[in-house]
Structure formats: structure tokens, C-alpha cells
Amino acid sequence: MKARYKIKGMMCSFCTQTITKAALKVPGVQRASVNLSHEEALIEFDEQRVTSPQIRDAIADMGYRVWDAKEYATAVEADPGISERFSQLPRLLVSAYVAAIVIITMPTMFFGRLAGWLPPRNPAMDAVLLVVDTAMIFGVGWPILRMAFLAVRRGILNQHVLLVAGALGGWTASILALLIPAVPSFGGLGAMLIFAHVLGGYFRARVQARASQAVQLILDLEPVSARRVHPDGREEPVTPDQLQVGDRVLVRPGEKVPVDGLILEGQAALDESFVTGESMPVDKGPQETVIGGSLNTNGRLVVQVSKPLEESFLRQVANYVEESKAMKPPIVLLADKALAYYVPGVMIIAAAAFVAWLAAIPLNLPRSGLLTATLAGLSVLVIGYPCALGLATPLALMRGTGLGAERGVLFRGGDSFERLRQVDVVVMDKTGTLTRGKPRVTDVTPIDPSLDSTELLRLAAAAESGSEHPLAQAVVQAATSAGTTVAPPDDFEAFPGRGVRARTAGRTLLVGNRGFLTDRVVAIDSTVQQTLETLEHGGKTAILVADESSRRVLGIVALADTPRPEARDAIADLKRLGLTPVMLTGDNRRTALAVARQLGIDDVLAELLPNEKTDELRNLQVQGKVVCFVGDGVNDAPALAQADVGIAMGGGTDAAKESADVVVVGNNLGSVVAAFDVGPKTYQKIRQNLLLAFAYNGVGIPVAALGFLHPLLAVAAMVLSSLSIMLNSVAIKLRPPTVARPGSPATRTPTIGPRSQPVAETVNPA
Ligand code: ADP
Ligand code: MG
């Protein structure tokens, strides 16, 4: 069984490790994954051996506030102050104030003594600083003390233990110094340490707030109420989560569709811009699907619920962002592993330095003495405090995912950040990705003299009505709008990437592409061939309708699909980034080339069956290319999985999104370009931050162990390193979105912002 918990009070990567360890120590817990940026833990356990509240208590026992993820929403509702109370700001202010006093007095004393205008010992000053330290450690630092104690009790050594060891070490020395003149005073150290710690937590909270805002914006699209219609016509107000599959809901003009469903009655123009990126509302009628969150601008709809709220498009999108595993690129996993040995390592080095300097006293080395021993030991503890290390990856990741979400890019797999950087070739599916995926019938050409075009369209539509394929739907749509009633076929079989075979009105029809028909030995004469070529040169997709028993072509139906308006710009941008765009399609080569030419794509892989698409990607990979695939359809799922990076268009099918590493929410190709911008830059920041942090700790610890670093300078260095990592993370600069069209989401920032215009403005008054 899996349970999700909301956790407050985490500071950095060390907290996630502490919680993971604590959870795994509970008998019956099988797997635990803790996400810092969303303050969540996902825990798998054996319900025979342990209950969910027991796990919650075990985490709470480490000093964190924990809720069952489901209860959290109610908890916040009852007490909206919950999250604020955990914000670090008030504590930050207090400690900044005290730290300021210490920062001013300490160097004065330090250098004053060196210069000789202060006596070497100043017990009064030391006493004042001791009071400040005591107040800081046991006041502001109380929660940290408690957490350190709770961790030690469970045998977990984490950053809190290190911090408390440093602070209490300095504090003890300062007390002893008042009594024993030989002991050096480290007054002010404790206060500074606590300040540095709280500062780190505050940075993290700042960046995090901005990252989760993006998710909140998505969830804000979700309507809060729905109107259920009972079979007897009675209407009942409910919340969307109460709706069940099969329920009917009424959606009036100006209201949002509560969940994903199917229109049963009514016609309306729906604003689906958050999914499709189309700023124009789309007209929809009976038997068409609607997405929860889309705005009904003008009609009255009765919608049948097709998915429970939890599985709705919006929730899925939010889940992608929240999935814990998504946040751990391999480099972070590696860093996490190193961190596990880090704290014990630092404590051993600190103890060794202290003992070694004590042992060295009889050797009469320069600088040897109790002062140097204490100084070295404490400095190692302080400089070893891994605040920067713990913030290095989370800050960069939070910033990167937040920026991505603002541009409509959701990163699912953690390694996609790194992989995107290595990509050479971007293979894009034609239908639905480069084009709108909404083909329209443009030409109906009967070949058989006994048929007129209406009759031909009727036959084609009857055969296609069993198929989900966009081409099939377009044919049915064309027949319906021509006034024909489309009868379902008596027998039906689909051949993916080829066509359909169906029995209707007593004859068996084959509807599909040339290869499909020639395989079934239907003769294609030169007239048919000529017509096909003309249509295909014009970028149209031609499908043939044939009678299986007579093996004769009855006619040709041609369809055209318009390229997405931003496609040309996006392709140009990808090229500018040094990537090679390739179009991939099951469609005819001539059609594909015509479309590719329009878009500025030079490489085309056409006439591929769905399974051949993955083969083509593999071929590219064998040639040593790192391949990104962008697609949307069900049959794109294998290709998305085969590619080194799979990018799914958000308006596409669930299967596609499941297999993808990156999901583009607004269906805007500009977001694909943005992914290539955000991903590599985020990865670069992670590396830089880790390097900065390791350099600080890696250089600092030996220097401190050798007794060359005063603990207070160590604290100052620690603050600077956290600050530099924070600034470095925030400094991710994206290219301005060049892919823009009037009114498109790419020109608005953020892409997935709530459409919160007043209803009166969006309802069509006519
Ligand atoms: P794409 O790669 O563009 O998504 P598909 O692999 O789905 O295309 O289909 C490739 C080709 O197979 C289409 O261009 C069409 O010629 C033919 N085809 C597939 N399904 C059907 C169908 N239901 N009716 C007619 N033709 C079809
Ligand atoms: Mg497709």
C-alpha cells in the first residue's frame, strides 16, 4: 500500500534523508521517497504490519509536522495559518538582528586584541556574548535542538546534529572560558550558526514558494462546484470530487466543465486554451469529449462524466509535477549518496583534529595549545555544516521546474534535465504535433461511376465510424455535416497506420492508404495514381475507399491538416539551438514533404508503420545521435519511450503522457523550444551549485582542521556560500519566447495562468 504525507519543517536535502531513514526504520515500511520541493513523502508499506498513522507518527517524532496528504487540505482549510507558521521569516528576523550585533562586536574584539588596544581577555564582553548565544541557541534554535536530539535518539546523524554540536561546543567553551582562563571563549559562535541555518531555510522557502505556485496555477483552473443531474431531472449541487463515472452534469454558459467527460446534449464553444494552446474557443457538440477546467463560453451542455476527478487531465498534470521521483536526476542521487556519509565523516574529522592538536601540545609546534585544538575542532564542525551542500540541488531544481512550468513545460523524469542538453536530433510526429491534428475533408472524388460524392462519403464514414483515428473522425464529421446519417458498421477491423476494413450495407470496404490496398491486391490504375499525386503534392492526405470483393477503388477522400501556427518559428528556433528537426509520419511521403517544406524542415521520415517509428529512432541512436521525440498519439507511446527524451504534447493521449519524460501543457511548440532552454540550464545550475558547495566544504574542512580558520570566519563563509548558491539558482535566465503569435499562450506569461476573467466578459451575450 502507498500513502502520501504532507510534511512541514524540512530545510534541505538532509531533512529528506532524515525522514527517509526514520520511515525505513519503521517495521513494515518498504520504500520511502521524500520530496523537499513539494514537502511530501510517498511511502510504500505492508498494511499487515504497520498502519498509516504509525508511519505518520514516526515522521512526526523526528520533529516535523506531518499530515496525511488527503487530510492536509482540510487541515489548511480549518487553519489557514498552518503553512505560514512554518515559514522561516520571523525567526530569520530575530536571528539576523542578533547576528548583526555579533558580527559587529566579534571582529572589533578579535582585531582589537590583535592590535593591542583591547586586553587579550575581556570577560565582560565574553559574558554578554554568552547571553546572546544562550538566547539564540535555546530560543530561536530550540526546534533545531529538539530535532537534533530526536535524530540522535534514533541513531541518525544529520545536519542538525552537526549544527548543534558546533553551537553547543562553542557555548560550552565560552562558559568554561569564564571560569578557566586557559580555555578560549567563542562567544557569538552559537548565535551566528543559528542565524546561518535559519537563513538557509528561508532561501529554500522563497524558491520553493515560486516553484509550487506553478502547480497551484494549474489546480486553480479546476472548478470548485458542479451540478449533477439525476435521471428524474432533479439538479443537485456537488463538488467535483463527488462525481462518479457515468454521472451527468449540467454546465451552463460561463461555467467551467467540472471533470473530463462526454457531451450528451447541447452545443457550445469551449475555451480549452490551457490544454490545446488554442486561444479561440472550439465548438463542440454531442459525443465529443470535454476536459475538466475548460470554460463553456456560450451554450448549455449536459456532460457525462468519463473519469473521476483524481484521474482528470488537470490532476494528472499536477501529479506529474508533484511526482517525487521526477525530482531526482542521477547527479542528485549521487550527491545524496555522498551526503549519507558526510555528517559522520565531518564529526570524525572534527574529533580527530581536536585530539591531534591536544596530543601535539608536548611537541611544542608553533601555535599548538588548547586554543588551536578547540578552534580546529569547532571550525571543522562549523565549516562542515552542509547547508550549502543541502541546498545546492534542491534550489536549482525548484527554480528550473518552476521556470519550466511558467513556460508550459513539465519535467517528469529527473534525468531529462541532463539529457535535453545532449540531444542532437528532435524527431517530431507530424499529425497532432506539427499540425493541429484536426484534419478536414477537402476533396471527395468518386472513381466508380455508380457512386456520387455524397454516396462515397457515406460509405467511407460508415466504415470509419468504428475508428478513433483523427482521419476517421474527420471523415465521419464531414459526412454528418453533409446531412448523412452514419450507420455503424456490421463488422470492423482497424489496421494501425494503414486503414480499416469494415462491412456495411452488405459490402466489405477497405479504407486506407495505398499500401494497405495494394497488399489486398486492389488495382490502382493510372487515373487513381494521378489524382493521388496531385492531392499529395498539395500537402493533403488521400485515403482510398475500395470494395474488397471486386478489388476496385470506389473513390478517394482527401484531407488536409493545418500546421500549428507557431510551428515554423519553433522549428527555426530549434535549428538556432543547433538541433536537427526531423518530421516523422505514417503519412505518404509526398504529403509529408509538402508539409515539411512549409515548416522549414529538411529531413522527413515518412510512410512508417507505428512499429517502424521506433525502429527509425533506434537507427538514429545507433548512429550515435541522442534523440528527442515529440509526439501526442496513442501510437506515439513506444517512440516516446524509445527516445532518449520523450516530449508529449499535453493535449495528447494519456498513453503518450505516461511514456514521456517531459509534458508540454499548452500544446504549444514554443514550449518544446523552452524545454531545450530550461532543461540544460537547470542541469548546469545543479552542477555549478554542487561544485560551489563541495569546493566550500572540501577546501574549508582541511584548512579548519589544520587550525587556520577561526570558527566565526567559518560561519561567515557558510553564509556566503548559501547566499551564492541561492543567487546562482535564481539567476537562471531563459531566452525570451520568440515563438509567438497574437493572443497565443506563448505571448502571455505564465502560459498556464488562470483564466480568471469575470464570467460576464467571456459569455457571449448574443
Ligand atoms: P501519423 O504518423 O501521421 O500519426 P498514422 O500512423 O496514424 O499517422 O497513420 C498513417 C497513415 O495510415 C495515414 O496517413 C493514413 O493514410 C493511414 N490510416 C491510418 N488509419 C487510418 C484510418 N482509420 N482510415 C484511413 N486511413 C488510415
Ligand atoms: Mg500521430
Ligand 1 geometric centre to CA of 642 (Å): 21
Q: Which ligand is nearest to the CA of 492?
A: 1
Q: Is the minimum distance from the CB of 542 to ligand 1 under 6 angstroms?
A: no
Ligand 2 geometric centre to CA of 430 (Å): 6
Statement: residue 142 has pLDDT above 50: yes
Mean pLDDT score, 157-162: 85
Q: Is the minimum distance from the CB of 446 to ligand 1 under 6 angstroms?
A: no
- C-alpha–C-alpha distance, residues 686 and 682, integer Å: 6
Percentage of the chain beyond pLDDT 70 is 86
Statement: residue 743 has pLDDT above 70: no
Q: Is the minimum distance from the CB of 435 to ligand 1 under 6 angstroms?
A: no
Using the atom order of ligand 1, give the atom closest to the CA of residue 542: 16
Question: If pLDDT is split at 50, 70 and 90, which confidence band does 387 have?
Answer: confident
- Region of poorest pLDDT, from 134-148, 307-321, 601-615: 307-321
Q: Is the minimum distance from the CB of 499 to ligand 1 under 6 angstroms?
A: yes
Ligand 1 geometric centre to CA of 172 (Å): 77
Statement: residue 657 has pLDDT above 80: no
The residue whose CA has the least distance to atom 14 of ligand 1 is: 587
The alpha carbon of residue 613 and the mean position of all alpha carbons in its chain are separated, in whole angstroms, by 27
Ligand 1 geometric centre to CA of 557 (Å): 13
pLDDT value of position 653: 61
Percentage of the chain beyond pLDDT 90 is 37
Name the grid cell of 19: 525522514
Q: Is the minimum distance from the CB of 431 to ligand 1 under 6 angstroms?
A: yes
Pocket probe for ligand 1: among 498, 561, 613, the residue whose CB has the most ligand atoms within 8 Å is 498
Statement: residue 390 has pLDDT above 50: yes
75-79, 167-171, 423-427, 482-486 — which one is most confidently predicted on average? 423-427
Mean pLDDT score, 631-637: 76
Angle at the Cα of 76 (from 73 to 77), degrees rounded to 5? 85
Mean pLDDT score, 81-86: 56
Query: Which residues contact residue 693 at a Cβ distance below 8 angstroms, ignoring those fewer than 6 apart?
Result: 386, 388, 389, 391, 392, 721, 725
pLDDT value of position 681: 93
Question: If pLDDT is split at 50, 70 and 90, which confidence band does 766 have?
Answer: very low
Mean pLDDT score, 424-438: 90
Angle at the Cα of 310 (from 327 to 237), degrees rounded to 5? 140
Ligand 2 geometric centre to CA of 432 (Å): 6
Q: Tens of pLDDT along 332-353?
A: 667 767 777 888 899 999 999 9
Q: Is the minimum distance from the CB of 512 to ligand 1 under 6 angstroms?
A: yes
Q: Is the minimum distance from the CB of 500 to ligand 1 under 6 angstroms?
A: yes
Burial string for 211-248 (b: 16+ CB within 10 Å, else e) reads: bbebbebbebbbbeebebbeeeeeeeeeebeebeeebb
Q: Which entry of 415, 429, 573, 644 is annotated as an active-site residue?
A: 429
Using the atom order of ligand 1, give the atom closest to the CA of residue 588: 14
- Stronger pLDDT, 370 or 422, i.e. the higher one: 422
pLDDT value of position 294: 86
Ligand 1 geometric centre to CA of 644 (Å): 25
Ligand 1 geometric centre to CA of 495 (Å): 9
The residue whose CA has the least distance to atom 17 of ligand 1 is: 498
Using the atom order of ligand 1, give the atom closest to the CA of residue 613: 2
Name the grid cell of 604: 522527413
C-alpha neighbours within 13 Å on the C-beta side of residue 722: 26
Please name which of 318, 309, 298 lies closest in space to residue 261, comparing C-alpha atoms.
309
Q: Exposed/middle/buried for 492, CB within 10 Å: 0-12, 13-18, 19+?
A: middle
Q: Is the minimum distance from the CB of 471 to ligand 1 under 6 angstroms?
A: yes
Statement: residue 581 has pLDDT above 80: yes
Q: Tens of pLDDT along 451-479?
A: 999 999 999 999 999 888 889 999 999 99
Q: Could you tell me if 143 and 9 are in contact, meaning their C-beta atoms sit under 8 angstroms apart? A: yes
Q: Is the minimum distance from the CB of 737 to ligand 1 under 6 angstroms?
A: no
Q: Tens of pLDDT along 94-127?
A: 778 777 777 777 777 667 766 766 666 677 778 8
Mean pLDDT score, 274-289: 76
Ligand 2 geometric centre to CA of 651 (Å): 12
- Region of poorest pLDDT, from 212-221, 398-407, 470-479, 574-583: 212-221
CB count, 10 Å around CB of 190? 32
- C-alpha–C-alpha distance, residues 701 and 268, integer Å: 67
The residue whose CA has the least distance to atom 24 of ligand 1 is: 499
Q: Which ligand is nearest to the CA of 512?
A: 1
- C-alpha–C-alpha distance, residues 672 and 104, integer Å: 51
Whether 429 is a known active-site residue: answer: yes
Q: Is the minimum distance from the CB of 587 to ligand 1 under 6 angstroms?
A: yes
- DSSP β-bridge partners for residue 509: 502, 547
pLDDT value of position 745: 40
pLDDT value of position 322: 54
Residue 88 parent element (H or E) = none
pLDDT value of position 87: 58
Query: Which residues contact residue 480 at a Cβ distance below 8 angstroms, ignoring those fewer than 6 apart?
Result: 461, 486
Mean pLDDT score, 737-744: 48
pLDDT value of position 543: 95
Strands (E), 100-247: 226-229, 235-238
Q: Which ligand is nearest to the CA of 640?
A: 2
- Region of poorest pLDDT, from 13-22, 320-329, 528-537, 548-557: 320-329
Question: If pLDDT is split at 50, 70 and 90, which confidence band does 536 have?
Answer: very high
Statement: residue 419 has pLDDT above 70: yes
Question: If pLDDT is split at 50, 70 and 90, which confidence band does 83 have?
Answer: low
- Region of poorest pLDDT, from 241-245, 375-379, 567-571, 739-743: 739-743
pLDDT value of position 741: 41
- C-alpha–C-alpha distance, residues 697 and 719, integer Å: 12
Statement: residue 360 has pLDDT above 60: yes
Q: Which ligand is nearest to the CA of 432?
A: 2
Residue with cell 492536509: 72
Q: Is the minimum distance from the CB of 511 to ligand 1 under 6 angstroms?
A: yes
Q: Tens of pLDDT along 28-73?
A: 999 888 877 778 888 889 989 999 999 999 999 888 889 887 777 7
Write down the mean pLDDT value for the chain: 83
Residue with cell 521524500: 34
pTM (2 decimals)?
0.73
- Stronger pLDDT, 735 or 23, i.e. the higher one: 23
Query: Which residues contact residue 371 at a Cβ distance below 8 angstroms, ignoring those fewer than 6 apart?
Result: 184
Q: Is the minimum distance from the CB of 497 to ligand 1 under 6 angstroms?
A: yes
The residue whose CA has the least distance to atom 4 of ligand 1 is: 431
Q: Is the minimum distance from the CB of 632 to ligand 1 under 6 angstroms?
A: no
The residue whose CA has the least distance to atom 20 of ligand 1 is: 499
Pocket probe for ligand 1: among 457, 469, 557, 605, the residue whose CB has the most ligand atoms within 8 Å is 469
Ligand 1 geometric centre to CA of 512 (Å): 7
pLDDT value of position 84: 55
